[in-house]
């Protein structure tokens, strides 16, 4: 990296790309980049001194190919003008996953992989290290509420990474310790079927050098990795790490005893609500304890964790009215989030707003989405957020809508959402999706405060 003075990012506004951009800025490089649309995250990067533009403009790329490294996200189309230009003019070009692999090489990499739960688990793991005084660097897939960033930096050689299965990106990593939280069918535009998803996770496990911690029952065994295998579970005593004596307080947070191979950590408490965060906490604790942090350090980190933006994010909670926003964009994630909402707000009427993400995911899981969303009382379904994809014939939100068992449901465009919600008598409202539905969290919260009080 010594030869470079400039790092240029094509797609700098993505959550993973922005963390790497912040890292190189911290390391003293000149950092700049392109993104398609401004966002709160790109505004933060600009405030930190990173130059960003929003037009496909090759003149904004640093002029010297010999001193400029270009990093791009696979979400960028191959015919995008700037990407074509750097390929034709001798720049060194790396995918986001490749540069993350280079950054973590030679360091003590602690990785969290899985089709669900990896953002909260990796962010919690990083917080346990920070709060313990050990410290770490961390590349996170969400904005930590404790630190207001998706990047942490440290002087030691410990690095926490969210290991993303999309595009097989996590196969660029060679962790010392890793956890695998789930291996459900997803990204079938990349993998084609569940069997290939599982094969990729087994390949990832084979690259772990010391210990791989698997959610109990996932089926990765000694034939898949040379690392020591341990298991974790929400409450199954057959696992190496699990919880017992689980109880919930009035805020929806949980207290439990954490069992691990060397003993029991009594009276652990989650800092954020939802039963899924007990499971996430056990996974993060398993890595921290495997690394060598003490039981007291782990317990303190679990209790002081403030969560991640857009991960079971409670924006409003007053008597009789509540609003939760969540990044859930897979049927299993929606089902888990609704289960947690039901647990925290028992007997309440739940209105779910869902923005499907990607045409291929909508096509592949329409029936499963319908089943998960039918666990709500009322559904407001929005049009599909396409992200990197072109429309597919016959694939619209209607194929989910028609399969839901709910009778209380409407299908609208996202531009109609606020007008629709203004007319709703809201008890518990939840917004789900990985697209741009997050742009509504501020307006919805303000509406709730205006109607029901701050």
- Domain presence at residue 1: no
pLDDT score of 27:
94
Q: Which of 82-86, 188-192, 276-280, 330-334 has the lowest mean pLDDT?
A: 188-192
152 and 272 fall within a common domain: yes
362 and 416 fall within a common domain: yes
In 3-state terms, what secondary structure has residue 275? coil
163 and 281 fall within a common domain: yes
The answer to whether the beta carbons of residues 270 and 278 sit under 8 Å apart is yes
Res. 177: pLDDT tops 80: yes
Which residues form the domain of 435? Answer: 313-452
Q: Among 262, 283, 304, identify where a domain stops.
A: 304
pTM of the model: 0.90
Question: CA 293 → CA 129, 239, 307, 329, 432, distances in Å?
Answer: 8, 20, 21, 33, 35
pLDDT score of 186:
86
In 3-state terms, what secondary structure has residue 179? strand
CATH number at residue 339: 3.90.190.20
Instruction: Note the pLDDT tens digit of each residue in 41-96.
Output: 999 999 999 999 999 999 999 999 999 999 999 889 899 999 999 999 999 999 99
Q: Among 248, 276, 304, identify where a domain stops.
A: 304
pLDDT score of 182:
94
Q: Among 279, 304, 329, identify where a domain stops.
A: 304
327 and 267 fall within a common domain: no
pLDDT score of 133:
96
pLDDT score of 389:
87
Instruction: Give all strands of the β-sheet with 409-411 in edge-to-edge order.
Output: 313-318, 321-326, 428-432, 350-354, 378-381, 409-411
- Cite the DSSP H helix spans in 54-117: 81-88, 96-104
Q: Look at residues 170, 103, 140 and name the one whose alpha carbon lies nearest to residue 19.
A: 140
Res. 239: pLDDT tops 80: yes
Our count of domains for the chain comes to 3
Res. 188: pLDDT tops 80: no
DSSP class of residue 383 equals P
Across 54-183, the runs of DSSP E, i.e. the strands, are 68-72, 92-95, 108-113, 137-144, 149-152, 158-163, 177-180
249 and 176 fall within a common domain: yes
Q: Nearest 5 degrees, angle CA 20-CA 170-CA 214?
A: 125
The mean pLDDT of the chain is: 95
The answer to whether the beta carbons of residues 31 and 9 sit under 8 Å apart is yes
The answer to whether the beta carbons of residues 431 and 441 sit under 8 Å apart is yes
117 and 247 fall within a common domain: yes
CATH number at residue 65: 3.40.50.720
Instruction: Note the pLDDT tens digit of each residue in 313-341.
Output: 999 999 999 999 999 999 999 999 999 99
- Domain presence at residue 298: yes
Measured distance CA(254)–CA(270) in Å, rounded:
5
288 and 157 fall within a common domain: yes
Phi, psi of 258 (to 5 degrees): -100, 115
Give mean pLDDT, residues 142-155.
Answer: 96
Instruction: Note the pLDDT tens digit of each residue in 343-360.
Output: 999 999 999 999 999 999
- Domain presence at residue 229: yes
446 and 339 fall within a common domain: yes
Question: CA 431 → CA 22, 189, 243, 310, distances in Å?
Answer: 29, 25, 29, 10
Give mean pLDDT, residues 387-392.
Answer: 89
């Amino acid at each position: 990296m010594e030869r470079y003075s400039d790092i240029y990012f094509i797609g700098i506004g993505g959550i993973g790309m922005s963390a790497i951009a912040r890292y190189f800025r911290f390391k003293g490089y000149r950092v700049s980049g392109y993104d398609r649309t401004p966002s709160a995250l790109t505004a933060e990067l600009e405030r930190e001194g990173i130059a960003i533009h929003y037009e496909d403009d090759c003149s904004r790329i640093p002029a010297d190919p010999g001193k400029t490294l270009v990093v791009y996200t696979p979400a960028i189309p191959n015919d995008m003008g700037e990407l074509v230009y750097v390929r034709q003019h001798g720049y060194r070009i790396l995918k986001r996953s490749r540069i993350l692999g280079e950054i973590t090489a030679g360091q003590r990499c602690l990785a969290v992989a899985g089709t669900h739960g990896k953002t909260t688990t990796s962010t919690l793991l990083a917080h346990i290290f920070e709060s313990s005084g050990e410290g770490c660097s961390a590349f996170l897939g969400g904005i930590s509420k404790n630190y207001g960033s998706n990047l942490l930096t440290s002087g030691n050689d410990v690095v926490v990474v969210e290991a993303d299965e999309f595009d097989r990106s996590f196969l660029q990593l060679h962790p010392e310790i890793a956890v695998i939280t789930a291996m459900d069918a997803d990204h079938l535009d990349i993998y084609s079927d569940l069997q290939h998803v599982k094969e990729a996770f087994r390949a990832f496990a084979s690259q772990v050098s010391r210990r791989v911690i698997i959610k109990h029952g996932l089926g990765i065994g000694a034939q898949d990795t040379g690392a020591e295998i341990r298991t974790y579970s929400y409450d199954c005593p057959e696992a190496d790490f699990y919880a017992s004596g689980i109880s919930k307080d009035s805020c929806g947070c949980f207290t439990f005893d954490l069992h691990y191979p060397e003993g029991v950590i009594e009276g652990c408490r989650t800092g954020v609500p939802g039963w899924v965060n007990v499971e996430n906490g056990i996974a993060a604790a398993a890595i921290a304890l495997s690394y060598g942090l003490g039981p007291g350090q782990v317990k303190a980190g679990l209790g002081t964790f403030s969560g991640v933006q857009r991960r079971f994010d409670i924006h409003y909670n007053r008597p009789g009215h509540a609003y939760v926003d969540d990044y859930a964009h897979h049927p299993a994630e929606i089902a888990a989030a609704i289960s947690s909402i039901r647990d925290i707000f028992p007997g309440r009427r739940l209105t779910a707003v869902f923005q499907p993400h990607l045409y291929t995911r909508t096509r592949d899981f329409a029936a499963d989405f319908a089943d998960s969303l039918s666990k709500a009382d009322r559904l407001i379904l929005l049009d599909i957020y396409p992200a990197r994809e072109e429309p597919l014939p016959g694939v619209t939100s209607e194929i989910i809508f028609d399969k839901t068992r709910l009778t209380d449901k409407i299908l609208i465009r996202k531009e109609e959402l606020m007008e629709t919600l203004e007319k709703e008598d809201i008890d518990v409202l939840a917004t789900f999706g990985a697209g741009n539905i997050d742009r509504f969290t501020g307006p919805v919260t303000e509406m709730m405060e205006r109607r029901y009080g701050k």
